[in-house]
Amino acid sequence: MLPIDVCRHRLASQHLVKQKVQTGSEIVRLFGAVQAQDYSGAKWGLGQRTIASDDAAIEKEFSDGAILRTHVLRPTWHFVAPADIRWMLALTAPRVKAAMASYDRKLELDGPVLRRSQKALTKALTGGKELTRAELAQALTRAGVRADGTQRLAHLVMHAELDGLICSGARRGKQFTYALLEERVPPAKDLDRDSALHELAIRYFATRGPATENDFAWWSGLKKGDARAAAHSAESSLDSEIIGGSKYWFQPAAIIPKPKSPFARLLPNYDEYFIGLKDRGSIQMKIAGIKQSMALLGAHIAIIDGQIVGGWTRTFDRKSVVVTLRPLTQLTAADERAIASEVTKFGEFLRSRIRFSCLSFCVNLQAIPK
């Protein structure tokens, strides 16, 4: 495979070329986990991969508990499926806790403090209650557990997530809530560690491949040895090829669709097409010669034919959404039309009026501070 073939295969694997899936929750299940610290951006990432889901439909899935949002894999927010949350936490939480250990010491969070914290959280949430982070802080304070400071409270809540005590509840307005996992998530089949490693590898390479073991280790937060063992355990279900001296794994496909060029997508920040890989060289060929190009992208990423060509931002006001494209390479008129079409789809996803502006290549480079 050439880099352009790798990109084309990944676009198909990521469900960005031809949408066959009806719901955002099914995309989450297929992907295993979807990075989601930017909640609205992550919803748009799911919407692009479904046949007709809009923002309201995905929000409803989240409210109903068909999509959960918690800290798993690397220590950041991810969407996960209810059936997967327990085994995925069991597999990856120890690594996340190890990464948190030095911060826990600085914040004076030891075993007794965490046990008192989780007892207080259990009492506060029992009975189907869904509480905001501020309300959890009040419950902790009443129980004599210090929850002062953003970081201390965040770590107390994150430990409760990693231990499988709490998970996301429905949003209350724009505020996120938390619920007891055992009350919100139906029982599911447990997986032993080897089975969990195998399952995570299958999900990853089927939706991010072609990718390497190092890519998988980065995405999953696993040790490289565990990532290697997981990839080899899935060998019978995957194809592989040596590209540039490295072994790439991917799901077999009889035909990889070749979208009509120029093929544009407006991806959110932290989209799995980008953040799901450690080595992003094959998708950065058009901006490789631009100094500090990644720092210039801005909030979100625009791609043409699988290649990053610039960044884009969204600005909300009362009546509309303004999308501004910041190209990092010269775009053709056809490129701009393809991107404008995606902007229209973004407006349809949000069910909002939308305005689009495209900065010129030269203006863009002068306008963004290095």
For 197-219, what is each residue's pLDDT tens digit?
Answer: 999 999 999 999 999 999 999 99
Mean pLDDT to the nearest integer, 25-33: 98
- The region of weakest confidence among 53-67, 85-99, 111-125, 286-300 is 286-300
pLDDT of residue 81: 98
Q: What DSSP element (H or E) covers 64?
A: helix 55-64
Mean pLDDT to the nearest integer, 128-155: 95
- Distance separating alpha carbons of residues 243 and 141, to the nearest angstrom: 55
- Distance separating alpha carbons of residues 257 and 39, to the nearest angstrom: 30
pLDDT of residue 344: 95
Of the candidates 103, 34, 69, 285, the one whose C-alpha atom is nearest the C-alpha of residue 185 is 69
For 302-337, what is each residue's pLDDT tens digit?
Answer: 999 999 999 999 998 878 899 999 998 899 999 999
- Distance separating alpha carbons of residues 252 and 368, to the nearest angstrom: 42
Q: What DSSP element (H or E) covers 153?
A: helix 150-162
- Distance separating alpha carbons of residues 322 and 302, to the nearest angstrom: 15
pLDDT of residue 294: 58
Q: Give the C-alpha distances (Å, rounded to integers) separating 209 from 61, 72, 300.
A: 27, 21, 22
Q: What DSSP element (H or E) covers 361?
A: helix 361-367
pLDDT of residue 164: 97
Q: Give the C-alpha distances (Å, rounded to integers) separating 363 from 269, 290, 366.
A: 22, 14, 5
For 172-200, what is each residue's pLDDT tens digit?
Answer: 999 999 999 999 999 999 999 999 999 99
366 has pLDDT over 80: no
Mean pLDDT to the nearest integer, 23-39: 97
pLDDT band at 167 (very low <50, low <70, confident <90, very high): very high
- The region of weakest confidence among 61-75, 225-239, 280-294 is 280-294
Of the candidates 235, 361, 232, 193, the one whose C-alpha atom is nearest the C-alpha of residue 286 is 361
Average pLDDT, the chain: 92
DSSP 21: B
- Distance separating alpha carbons of residues 122 and 317, to the nearest angstrom: 39
- Distance separating alpha carbons of residues 27 and 289, to the nearest angstrom: 34
pLDDT band at 365 (very low <50, low <70, confident <90, very high): very low
- For the chain, how many residues are written? 370
Q: What DSSP element (H or E) covers 80?
A: strand 76-80
For 36-76, what is each residue's pLDDT tens digit?
Answer: 999 999 999 999 999 989 999 999 999 999 999 999 998 89
pLDDT of residue 361: 59
367 has pLDDT over 70: no
